[in-house]
Amino acid sequence: MPALNAPSPEISALLFLALEAGREIMTIYQGDFTAAVKADGSPVTIADQAAEAVILAGLKESFQSVPVVAEEAVEAGHLPEVAERYFLVDPLDGTKEFVSQNGEFTVNIALVDQGVPVFGVVYAPVLGDIYWGGTLPADLSGEGTSESGAFKAKVQNGGIETISRISVRQSPFEGLSVLASRSHLSKATSAFIEQFQVAETVSVGSSLKFCVVAEGKADLYPRLGPTMQWDIAAGDAVLRAAGGEVLRLEDHSPVTYQVPPQAQKADLLSPFFVALSNRDLLGAAGLLAKAV
């Protein structure tokens, strides 16, 4: 396999922001902390807020022309007007995993362009794994020297080491490995999974599920429950760059992202979806014919 080029300066800046946010999170994770409850019943901690502050400051410095839609800012009533290009930030995806201290939480940074998550970073600071994938638009990518595709690296001593290219696997139609949310497995999701020939169902927290499919360790991840755009965009970008797809359950079209004018938080809800290595898995289960 040919040697991988180093990430471009612009992509390196995004990776650095994820690492910086992770450091803020780990400082709190390793101490005493408490969780508050948002209006929707989900938990929030000072780690969410500290990590988001780091990311917002860094994006403003490096990508001043691109608006940012970030979870905690939106919760506080700050949802900017955006055009076709914007960053989506979830500073701590999997706060329930953070609170339970199982390590399966992530920092998510994604760039959306014309409805498509064209680049994403997912960093799991406890696990020491960082994933990224996609390509920055030419006017944001300097000399455009970054490689397209999806990548995984280890984070050691505060730096990124052992970069490897990842891709989805050629999934069998029987004996599938299916991922389910550790904290949000619904009856509808369980019923959907039962339509496949499944060898194992593995519970994983946060947007790591997209990345596990992207690196060829699982076949699909269905979600028949509420998520927000910032929950899934970065993982979606990594999976698409690895050769997979994230499809709406309603009609099996690719999930799209948008922030309408004068948007409210509810406008950023994502549709029910399935993330998978190959849409033919739906056909093998007899589901493509059910598309509306």
Question: Using CB atoms within 10 A of its CB, is residue 128 exposed (0-12), middle (13-18) or buried (19+)?
Answer: middle
Query: Could you tell me which residues are annotated as the binding site for substrate?
Result: 71, 92-95, 231
In terms of Cα–Cα distance, which of 23, 169, 43, 175 is closest to 96?
Answer: 43
In terms of Cα–Cα distance, which of 204, 242, 243 is closest to 222?
Answer: 204
Q: Return the number of other C-beta atoms located less than 10 Å from residue 58's C-beta.
A: 18
DSSP state of 143: T
Query: Could you tell me which residues are annotated as the binding site?
Result: 71, 90, 92-95, 231
- Rounded to the nearest 10 degrees, the angle between the axes of helix 9-29 and helix 46-62 is 160
Compute the distance between CA of residue 116 and CA of residue 131 in angstroms, rounded to an integer.
18
Task: Record the pTM.
Answer: 0.93
All structural domains of the chain: 9-166 (3.30.540.10), 176-290 (3.40.190.80)
Compute the distance between CA of residue 254 and CA of residue 219 in angstroms, rounded to an integer.
17
pLDDT in tens, the chain (292 residues): 345 666 889 999 999 999 999 999 999 998 777 666 666 667 678 899 999 999 999 999 999 999 999 999 999 999 999 999 999 999 999 888 888 888 899 999 999 999 999 999 999 999 999 999 999 998 887 654 456 899 999 999 889 999 999 999 998 888 999 998 776 677 888 899 999 999 999 989 889 999 999 999 999 999 998 999 999 999 999 999 999 999 999 999 999 999 999 999 999 999 999 999 999 999 988 887 554 3
**Each residue's pLDDT tens digit, 219-273:** 999 999 899 999 999 999 999 999 999 999 999 999 999 999 999 999 999 999 9
Compute the distance between CA of residue 194 and CA of residue 186 in angstroms, rounded to an integer.
13
Query: Could you tell me which residues are annotated as the binding site for Mg(2+)?
Result: 71, 90, 92-93, 231
